């Protein structure tokens, strides 16, 4: 077993930066996982990711990630220290319960209306320009505007709300620099103050809706004020970053296959299938990060204890054992339901997967309805193998 551990190949950051899909495809054929030159391991195959995502021997990282980066206090550290996504066992269950129940009772149609209104407004604002940089002009704005509507944030406060979320999220994107982390810390602190004031108004009975319902449930579960606040911030992170990249991916994938774009424009019932295939082809989340607390046998190879482990979505969802012609974008493939792996699994399955799908489906439906003659002017590239992924610019054009 020890010999097998030593012989696991080490993947360099340069390989992954150049083309993560190609690198993982090359190793996936012979190895169930690889080591990273920066430390830790990456699980490559769909079946292994599916099983390990619910394996109790892999636990949430708690505060290990920020501590590894030298962050031991502050607003960013709070996100890991008090959040449900980074917690384990009973702490995770207690923090998750109120949010899960609140989202279950959040009417899907009501949230979809927020998304649809935001999408239509953004497209109308630029319609006569005949061109749009999709990532910054649509995908980055739409999820924030929709969440602002769900939270009851006044229109006048939305621009600052959007700015703070975008700067805070830079911490979770590929290639965060010392400067961007500093800005992310300041933005996270401002966002905490903004949401704290909003929650105070909600508690005083000055607001109704999702937050009011969530606060009642959180009180029943005896969550601290810090825990209440951080679950909302984790919801925001999950509901904006992965969605932003996925909106770009689904539009680019369809526009690169004109027959499939036309099919979705002609038949709106195909929108959910297009979203599912885009999540498979270029998922917004690179993978789930865990810590191994025991040695784990993976297809006869030993994954050692005490290691950071990435359950790679971008590798698993291109696994040739599961997906025929895995490197082709095809909204008509028969096993699209397997793309749900990108939302995680088990106790830590994304608490807001329904909201994320609503954002993706409504954003795509708005594009196909308003701009059926859309063309892809510059195709984006996607990168990042840890946490959320990021895209380059994606310019689209149309005839007004």
Closest CA relative to residue 131, chosen from 348, 342, 400, 386: 400
CA distance 127 to 138: 12
Confidence (pLDDT) at 2: 41
> Is the CB of residue 34 less than 8 Å from the CB of residue 41?
yes
CA distance 356 to 111: 10
pLDDT at 106 over 60: no
183 Cβ contact partners less than 8 Å away, ≥ 6 residues apart = 167, 170
- Chain centroid offset of residue 140 CA: 12
What 8-state DSSP symbol labels residue 55?
Answer: -
Q: Render pLDDT for 288-312 as a digit per residue (tens, 0 to 9).
A: 999 999 999 999 999 999 999 999 9
Tokens of 70: 């030298």
Confidence (pLDDT) at 104: 79
Tokens of 282: 């270029």
Confidence (pLDDT) at 265: 97
108 CB neighbour count, 10 Å cutoff: 12
> What CATH number belongs to 2-397?
1.10.630.10
> Is the CB of residue 65 less than 8 Å from the CB of residue 85?
no
pLDDT at 68 over 90: no
The DSSP string of 104-139 is HTS-HHHHHHHHHHHHHHHHHHHGGG-EEEHIIIII
207 Cβ contact partners less than 8 Å away, ≥ 6 residues apart = 152, 198, 201
């Amino acid at each position: 077993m020890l010999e097998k551990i030593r012989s696991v190949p080490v993947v360099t950051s340069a390989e992954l930066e150049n083309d993560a899909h190609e690198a993982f495809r090359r190793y996936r054929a012979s190895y169930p996982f690889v080591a990273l030159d920066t430390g830790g391991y990456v699980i490559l195959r769909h079946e292994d990711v599916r099983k390990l995502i619910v394996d109790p021997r892999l636990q949430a990282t708690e505060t290990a990630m920020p501590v590894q980066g030298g962050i031991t206090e502050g607003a960013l550290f709070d996100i890991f220290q008090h959040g449900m996504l980074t917690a384990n066992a009973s702490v995770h269950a207690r923090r998750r319960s109120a949010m899960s129940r609140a989202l279950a009772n959040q009417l899907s149609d009501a949230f979809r209306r927020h998304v649809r209104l935001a999408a239509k407004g953004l497209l109308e604002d630029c319609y006569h320009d005949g061109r749009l940089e999709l990532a910054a002009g649509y995908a980055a704005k739409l999820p924030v505007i929709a969440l602002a509507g769900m939270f009851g944030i006044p229109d006048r406060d939305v621009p600052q709300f959007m700015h703070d979320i975008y700067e805070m999220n830079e911490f979770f994107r590929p290639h965060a620099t010392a400067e961007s982390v500093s800005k992310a810390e300041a933005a996270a602190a401002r966002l905490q103050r903004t949401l704290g004031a909003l929650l105070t108004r909600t508690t005083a009975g000055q607001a109704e809706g999702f937050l009011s319902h969530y606060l009642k449930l959180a009180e029943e579960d005896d969550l601290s004020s810090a825990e209440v606040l951080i679950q909302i911030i984790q919801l925001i992170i999950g509901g904006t970053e992965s969605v932003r990249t996925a909106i770009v991916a689904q539009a680019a994938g369809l526009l690169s296959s004109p027959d499939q774009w036309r099919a979705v424009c002609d038949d709106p019932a195909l929108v959910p299938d297009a979203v599912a295939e885009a999540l498979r082809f270029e998922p917004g989340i690179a993978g789930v990060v865990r810590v191994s607390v025991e040695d784990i046998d993976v297809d006869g190879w030993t994954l050692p204890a005490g290691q950071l482990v990435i359950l790679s979505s971008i590798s698993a969802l291109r696994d040739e054992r599961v997906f025929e012609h895995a490197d082709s974008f095809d909204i008509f493939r028969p096993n699209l339901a397997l793309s749900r792996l990108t939302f995680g699994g088990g106790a830590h399955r994304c608490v807001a997967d329904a909201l994320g799908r609503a954002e993706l489906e409504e954003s795509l439906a708005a594009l196909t309805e308003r701009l059926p003659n859309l063309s892809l002017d510059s195709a984006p590239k996607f990168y990042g193998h840890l946490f959320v992924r990021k895209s380059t610019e994606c310019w689209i054009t149309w005839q007004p």
